Amino acid sequence: MAELLSLYPALGHVTPPLPALGDEGKPIQVPADTVLFGERAPCQGFPLVLEGEVKVSRHSADGRSLELYRVVPGELCLVSSASLFRMTPMAAQGITTRPTRLLLISPPTFMQWLETPAFRNEVLGLFAERMADLTGLIDAVAFQKLDQRLAATLLGRGQNLALTHQQLADELGTVREIVSRLLRRFEREGWVELAREHITIRDSLALRTLAGSQAD
């Protein structure tokens, strides 16, 4: 209870209160790579992450995906709340990236909690923050070249990256073949060194220059 309130202080004011939830208020442990919710599926509940991480993505008919955001402890899921607000199917997929512990609050309880100003304000604040994030994502997808976006994605992860080309393609919302072609170009330039499921950064300055060239 104390852990939950430290992450989500607004829950100290909701009705029904946490102690009255019974089994619904007990955390569940979810393994990595578990699909918590799928696109076009009914919303089964509102996740409150205590430990771990949930990646939320959109998927196209041809198998491509685009990561929208990630939910970590103390944050709320925009797609789940939007689905419950409008009583519509989920607009994206949520999958755990590592072992995750969370509460899954039922839709009726979530709607009751929204009557509490502190919780409602927290959810509305989430919408504002996530919209800013998604606006940045739209700008990147619409206006920035894929090689620039790939360079930016490689930076900030250290020199040695345990990543597959498919994982990078999923993050960038494109197909693996295009990412592989760009990475081979980066390797020919001497910027990276490629191995199976591993990328070594050899010239981070060159990558940073490419990633920042959108501003030119």
pLDDT tens-digit readout, 116-164: 999 999 888 888 887 777 776 676 666 568 899 899 999 988 899 999 9
CB atoms within 10 A of CB 45: 19
What CATH architecture applies to the domain 2-141?
Answer: Sandwich (2.60)
Q: Are 113 and 75 in contact (CB under 8 A)?
A: no
Instruction: Name the residue ranges covered by the structural domains of the chain.
Output: 2-141, 145-215
Q: What is the pTM of this model?
A: 0.66
Q: Tokens for 114, please give them.
A: 């929204």
- Amino acid, res. 36: L
Sign of CA dihedral 59, 65, 67, 72: positive
| CATH class of segment(s) 145-215 | mainly alpha
Between the alpha carbon of residue 162 and those of residues 155, 158, 196, the distances in Å are 13, 10, 9
Q: pLDDT grade, residue 215 (50/70/90)?
A: very low
Q: Tokens for 123, please give them.
A: 């959810």
| Section 29-45 average pLDDT | 95
- Amino acid, res. 47: P
Same fold, 2-141 and 145-215: no
